[in-house]
Amino acid sequence: MSISAHQVITLHYRLYDVLNDGGEQLLDDSQSRDKPLEYLHGHDNILPGLERALESQPAGAELSVTLAPADAYGVYNEALVQTVSRASFGNTPLEVGSRFQTEGEAGPQIVTVLGLDGDNVSIDTNHPLAGHTLRYQVNVLTIREATRAELAKGHPLPPDTDYSKVEDRKVL
């Protein structure tokens, strides 16, 4: 069986930030955490560029996938750096480098504090990996057909899920 839409894929990966000097920095390693990634293929559960690279791969496949910023977390956008009032953060203690998750126009976003100047706070709402070239080292472990409940929810469900209690909004 090869990877295609509406299948649950389990894989191990190592994620590297490809540095400007040609080196790499390891950012994440699912195998060292003994926690493989499980996702529903074709449902926007992972980066689009990685999903395209995994299409048609069989179980057992090992591949290296390099993603340009546009295929990963986007090109860095200077317009997303702005100055806001300190009052926007309430009583939250702030320091340069602090990160917060907030609700943006397109859903959750990460806000990074770049600078503090009196009542002004300089923030960056680019994803922390925007503008970065990333490399995934992937090992596809298993491929299986998604259940109807998983398709209805748009993501894999835990093995002990009582499917009769999952709301099914799919129309046949």
Nearest residue to 155 (alpha-carbon basis) of 65, 41, 32: 41
What is the per-residue pLDDT for 166? 67
What is the per-residue pLDDT for 136? 98
Q: What angle do CA 58, 73, 46 make, to 5 degrees?
A: 30
| Phi–psi pair at 49, nearest 5 degrees | -65, -40
Q: Is the pLDDT of residue 130 over 90?
A: yes
Over range 101-126, report the average pLDDT.
90
What confidence tier does 95 reach under pLDDT thresholds 50, 70, 90? very high
Q: What angle do CA 75, 79, 80 make, to 5 degrees?
A: 75
Kindly report, residue by residue over 5-27, the tens digit of the pLDDT.
999 999 999 999 999 888 999 99
> Contact 89/121 with Cβ under 8 angstroms?
yes
pTM: 0.82
Q: Is the dihedral of CA 32, 55, 134, 127 positive or negative?
A: negative
Q: Is the pLDDT of residue 149 over 60?
A: yes
Largest CA distance in the chain: 60
Residue 154 is which amino acid?
G
